[in-house]
Structure 1
Amino acid sequence: MNRQTQYWAPERLDSGLIEAASALAAGGVVAFPTETVYGLGGDARSTEAVERIFAAKGRPSDNPLIVHLADAAGLDGLAAGVSSLERKLMAAFWPGPLTFVLPALPGAVSPRVTAGLDTVAVRVPAHETARRLIAAAGCPIAAPSANRSGRPSPTLARHVLDDLDGRIDGVLDGGPTGVGLESTVVRVMGDVVHVLRPGGVTAEQLRAAAGPDVRVESGSGDVGDVGEAAREVAPSGDAGAAGADDGSAAETAPRSPGVKYTHYAPQGEMVLVTGDAAPMRATVQSAADAARARGLSVGILACAEHAGDYRADAVLVLGSRAEPGEAAQTLYAALRECDDRGLGYIVAEGYPEDGIGAALMNRLRKAAGGHVLQA
């Protein structure tokens, strides 16, 4: 796959946005900024465009994509129904990093977007450039993160180019993203909000907005647990993944993007250490020393409070332990820096799982491939 990838610099944002929208309208695939991470967009109605997204990313096609809209009015052409509770949450968090899994109107989007299921994942991004681009393109935009599948998600335009230069039509540079982690994905069933993937909107925020009569249920954030939650709320008789010729895919196709496969991983081996601060520091250093004794170059992903205590080839500061939002913003860039430095072994400190810490720890566990040490 070799094509000329156009780069639209921030100083060319207005003209670049027009050119990028034209490329999308013509069936092209373009990377663009959102408030979470950079997305790789294509016309959600076009199977050819969506297949180009999968091809560029090397992404398994049984993983659904999120459809991005310029505003909530676009739901009328996508969703077969939106409940009063869903409307309430949309009013509270849209535009923003909250994705809803909704019953899809038949034929509204390519079956490759929904992985053949009868639901569609939808959000309205908070990034003004993203909404302007979608509006100018005149179509709903299916957009997973703009990285090669399995790699850390991109929070800068240069991260996109590192992974996808020559594989996509263009990159619209809107500067660094804000939240740094992907959107929260929910499915509302009656008076229960199921969190299928933790992200930029926390469970605590959902509870506060939904009200006392609504339950918000979250998985642990691990691939298996969230996948089970996604399947539990699925109605019987789902068709399964696109292209399947029997019912077996319905057992494995998740309702939410980003929960089935290992994601966000650096190239080196990675371990996550959890526990109270003092024993955690000792375990982190012990794991780092053991890896160095094996002749590996070692990096430590540390909170600001502990970084000065560690010995390694590289100590990368994610952010304050008291402010996990800082670590969320820097995590993916730090994982990419580990690759740039050629680190063969990475030890990451865990963070408290309150608020956005739940989403942060979800991504750290995925990056470590589930390799977790309890201090």
Structure 2
Amino acid sequence: MDTKIYTKKDLKLAAKDINDGELVSFPTETVYGLGADATNEIAVKAVYAAKGRPSDNPLIVHVDGPNMVKKYAQPLSPEAQSLLDTFWPGPLTIIFKLKPNVLSKAVTGGLDTAAFRNPNNDVTLSLIREAGVPIVGPSANTSGKPSPTKAEHVYHDLKGKISGILDDGESKYGVESTVLDMSTDTPAILRPGAITSTEIEKVINKPVLDQRTKVADNQVPKAPGMKYKHYAPNAQVYIVDNEDEWKSSVKWAAEQNHPVGIMADNKNIDKYDWSDNVETFSLGDNVNSASHLLFAGLRHFDNEPEVKSILTQAFSSDGIGEAYMNRLNKSAGQVHFNLK
């Protein structure tokens, strides 16, 4: 299969692919998604096959606005409606209870809920409207690998496996959306993202739980990232937590008999005298830029098989840092430099 590169001029062609049951990667403000008609069970199953994704890992359904959600979800609470009014379109995915038999179990993982998102990307919103159907959209990468923030990342992983890639440049945020479960009595964050629990609580005037725990092997997760390994390059990632560890890492890296990758802000990259076997990748100047560049950095080193270790800077878990550290911990398997 030839994988075509589409631009916004090719929306009708990309939408036709979706309507024909083909797979098309699409851009969002967070990462690139792998799209299929959410109402076409065969197409949805093809998403799992293309990614190598476990079939009990439910998919996020992308919509062009609240009216499309209401076709599938049970009546929304006033709090839920307030969230849509405040944060949509944007990087907030919300889990709702479904009306009976409206979406395939391939979408929901057999649950009576589904996760919906209204992406803040005009090209993708136009794609959904042109296709006239909601579009499932897990990240457009090989399952378990760093999520794609550019069309070229998608092409690297899925060339020959999908019909096309709708290219709209680099993603704005670089980490996936916040996932909020509104199907239970008490709302709960299942995956942190750019929209924080504090921001959500201000809108709904009630506490939000943190339920980012990993689910058991015999359980079906409600949201992506709760059960299976995610964001991991081939090299071992080590989290470097503080200045003392950075000082130690300079000596440690020089002693390795293989190239070592360093992912840090400009201050830490410029501060130390790195050995010749070290290659640096800048995460910019702060946690905002680091969140944007994290996956790109992991993918950069994934393309260099001789790099066996990647030392990556930790940031405070405040604000967007919560999402950054969530993804970094998963990519490292919770391994910190001081515990290597």
Say yes or no: does 1:141 pair with 2:135: yes
TM value normalised by structure 1: 0.85
Counterpart check, 1:317 vs 2:276:
no
Question: Does structure 2 retain, via aligned residues, the 8 Å contact 1:21–1:133?
Answer: yes
Closer/same/farther in 2, CA of residues 288 and 226 from structure 1, 3 Å limit = farther
Task: For 1:104 and 1:53, locate their aligned partners in 2 and report how far apart those are by CA, in whole Å.
Answer: 21
For residues 70 and 204 of structure 2, the distance between their equivalents in structure 1, rounded to whole angstroms, comes to: 23
Change in Cα spacing, 1:336 to 1:74, as seen in structure 2 (3 Å) is same
1:234 maps to which residue? none
- TM-score (norm: length of structure 2): 0.93
Q: Are 1:307 and 2:269 counterparts?
A: yes
Against the structure 1 CA distance between its residues 255 and 190, is the aligned structure 2 distance closer, same or farther, given a 3 Å change threshold? closer
**CA gap 1:127/1:305 in 2 versus in 1, 3 angstroms:** same
Q: 1:184: how far off?
A: 0.4
Question: What is the match of residue 298 of structure 1?
Answer: 260
Q: For 1:185-204, what aligned pairs fall within 5 Å after superposition? A: 185-188=179-182, 192-204=186-198
Secondary structure class of the residue paired with 1:305: helix
Displacement, 1:81? 2.8
Query: Offset at 1:374?
Result: 5.7
CA distance in structure 2 between the partners assigned to 1:46 and 1:53 by the alignment: 11
Deviations 1:218-260 (A, max 9, x none): 24xxxxx4335xx9xxxxxxxxxxxxxxxxx7x4211111221
Name the counterpart of 2:323: 359
Aligned counterpart in structure 2 of residue 215 of structure 1, from 193, 207, 210 = 207
The corresponding residue for 1:334 is 297
Matches of 1:291 and 1:60, distance apart in 2: 36
% identity of equivalent residues: 39
- Deviation of 1:205 after TM superposition, in Å, equals 1.7
Name the aligned partner's letter for residue 252 of structure 1.
Answer: Q
Give the match for residue 4 of structure 1: 2
Q: Distance in 1 between matches of 2:4 and 2:130?
A: 18
User: After the TM superposition, which parts of structure 1 deviate over 4 Å for at least 4 consecutive aligned residues?
Assistant: none
Using the alignment, how far apart are the partners of 2:139 and 2:179 within structure 1?
14
2:213 corresponds in structure 1 to 226
3-state secondary structure, aligned to 1:215? coil
Question: Are 1:227 and 1:260, in contact at CA under 8 Å, matched by a contact in 2?
Answer: yes
Post-superposition Cα deviations, 1:331-363, rounded to whole Å, max 9, x if no partner, equal 111111112233210011100100010000000
1:272 is matched by which residue type in structure 2? I
Question: Which residue of structure 1 aligns with residue 333 of structure 2?
Answer: 369
CA distance in 2, matches of 1:189, 1:60: 23
How far is 1:373 from its partner? 4.2
Q: Which residue of 1 aligns with 2:308?
A: 344
Distance 1:156 1:189 in 2: 33
Cα distance in 2 for residues equivalent to 1:291 and 1:59: 35
Shift of 1:106: 2.1
Answer whether contact 2:149 2:296 (CA < 8 A) is retained: yes
Q: How far 1:151 moved relative to its partner?
A: 1.2
- 2:86 & 2:191 partners in 1: Cα distance? 19
Aligned residues: 335
Which residue pairs with 2:110 in the alignment? 116
CA contact (8 A) 2:311 2:337 kept: no
Distance in 2, matches of 1:122 and 1:107, equals: 16
Residue matched to 1:277: none
Match of 2:219 in 1: 252
Q: Deviations over 1:71-105 (max 9, x none)?
A: 11001221123111111111110001101111112
**Structure 2 gap segments, 5+ residues each:** none
Q: What does 1:7-86 correspond to in 2, within 5 Å? A: 7-8=5-6, 10=7, 13-14=8-9, 16-86=10-80
Q: CA RMSD in A?
A: 1.8
What letter matches 2:246 in structure 1? V
Letter of the structure 1 residue corresponding to residue 3 of structure 2: T
